[in-house]
């Protein structure tokens, strides 16, 4: 199971890149461009996509994927805790 957890990290990294590409090129930039041409609603939506949603989605998926790949989420079979004691 730990092997799956580690290698699934590649999927999260890829998903982060894909999500970033899709949200910037398919939604964010076209909407922002339309906003610059005078469509107020598109401007708002474009800004939200480019500067809020995209960095959050991409950033969290990339860091999570990296942590997964480097084994941060592996655990022992007898480990019954989440392991977080704030240490």
Residues lying near other proteins in the complex (CB under 8 A): 1, 4-5, 8, 12, 15, 27, 40-41, 44-45, 48, 52-53, 56, 60-61, 63-64, 67-68, 72-73, 75, 79-87
* Residue placing its CB nearer to other proteins in the complex, 37 or 79: 79
**Smallest distance from other proteins to CB 73, Å:** 5
**Smallest distance from other proteins to CB 79, Å:** 7
Nearest to 20 by CA among 45, 44, 56: 56
Measure the CA–CA gap between 51 and 35, rounded to whole angstroms: 15
CA atoms within 13 A on the CB side of 78: 0
φ, ψ (nearest 5 deg) of residue 30: -60, -40
* Residue placing its CB nearer to other proteins in the complex, 36 or 56: 56
């Amino acid at each position: 199971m730990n092997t799956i957890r580690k290698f699934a990290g590649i999927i999260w990294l890829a998903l982060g890149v894909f999500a970033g590409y899709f949200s910037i090129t398919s939604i964010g930039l076209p909407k922002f461009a339309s906003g610059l041409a005078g469509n107020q609603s598109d401007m708002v939506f474009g800004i939200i996509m480019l500067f809020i949603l995209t960095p959050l989605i991409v950033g969290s998926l990339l860091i999570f994927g990296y942590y997964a790949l480097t084994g941060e989420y592996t655990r022992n079979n007898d480990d019954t805790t989440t392991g977080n004691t704030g240490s």
